[in-house]
Amino acid sequence: MKSINETLVKEVAIELISKDKVTTTLDVKSHLRGLGYWTNQEEVSIYLKNLADTGVLSFTQTGPYRLYTLGPTNLTGDSYVDNQ
């Protein structure tokens, strides 16, 4: 199986967000595996958080899950909120 990198994760996340308006680490991991890449949810989570930290993506914390969308994230208190 092929390995992943941040560029690939970014492309898949943006594709899924464009289609569904939002994505999760599970969605991205499943899509990548369907394309023949080996990954786990922890690895995808690290890449998606890096993309949020650099402003490419944003996320909203909903309980134990993060819902990723396009755009920067603002840190407010102990949780992240969507900046859009």
CA dist 2 to 5, 34, 39, 42, 83, Å? Answer: 10, 11, 9, 17, 34
- Supply the pLDDT for residue 64: 87
The answer to whether domain 6-82 has CATH 1.20.1740.10 is no
| Mean pLDDT on 25-29 | 97
Q: Which of 16-20, 27-31, 38-42, 68-72 has the lowest mean pLDDT?
A: 68-72
Residue 31 · residue 12 · CB < 8 Å = yes
Q: Give helix 25-34 / helix 41-53 axis angle, nearest 10°.
A: 120
* pTM metric for this prediction: 0.82
Burial class (CB in 10 A: 0-12, 13-18, 19+), 43: middle
